[in-house]
Amino acid sequence: MKRRNFWNRLAALAGALAAVIATPTHAQGQYPNKPVTVIVPHAAGGATDTIARIVTQKLGEVMGQQFVADNRPGAGGNIATALAAKARPDGYTLILTVNSTHVINPALYKSTGFDPVKDFEPVSLAANAGYVLVANAAFPANSVADLIALAKAKPGVGRSRYAE
């Protein structure tokens, strides 16, 4: 009885394997076979735009297809990022953005129009840039700790007229 069960299982496995092997495969065409749009959620001329233009030019050269930077500034990057989130997930619409659209904006805005985790698949880090805090040499703060202490001691002093 055990021997017969073994042969039945082996025959079933062979049949399943034959069915899988016989299933026709659908090959995809070579990517990319049409222009690729790279959405940039910032205005032309800024750092992100500059990086996007360098990256799209090089990608076009390497991939043999046109990669186009499409600047869509507004709402802190939410407009462009929501547009990218709604695009067909076929690799022909990419977004080159900074971390604020996916990290900061969901905490700042009630609704961004996208889910930063579910709607996107990271591809690569394109650039890494640091921030620098500078002030006039006559400014009384010489460190970030000094600046914080000064701001707490004198709230509103030096406040920009544009901050309101």
pLDDT tens per residue, range 104-151: 999 999 999 999 999 999 999 988 887 788 888 988 889 999 989 988
What is the band of 35 on the pLDDT scale with cuts at 50, 70, 90?
very high
Could you give the CA distance from residue 100 to residue 61 in angstroms, rounded to a whole number?
29
Residue 69 covered by a domain: yes
Q: What is the pLDDT of residues 50-64, one digit of tens each?
A: 999 999 999 999 999
Q: Could you tell me the pLDDT band of residue 155, with boundaries at 50, 70 and 90?
A: confident
Residue 148 maps to a domain: no
Q: What integer best gives the mean pLDDT of the chain?
A: 84
Q: Residue 51's domain is classified under what CATH number?
A: 3.40.190.150
**Is 43 inside a domain boundary?**
yes
Q: Please tell me the predicted confidence (pLDDT) of residue 162.
A: 38
Instruction: Give a yes or no: residue 101 inside a domain.
Output: yes
Q: Which domain holds residue 77?
A: 36-108
Tally of domains within the chain: 1
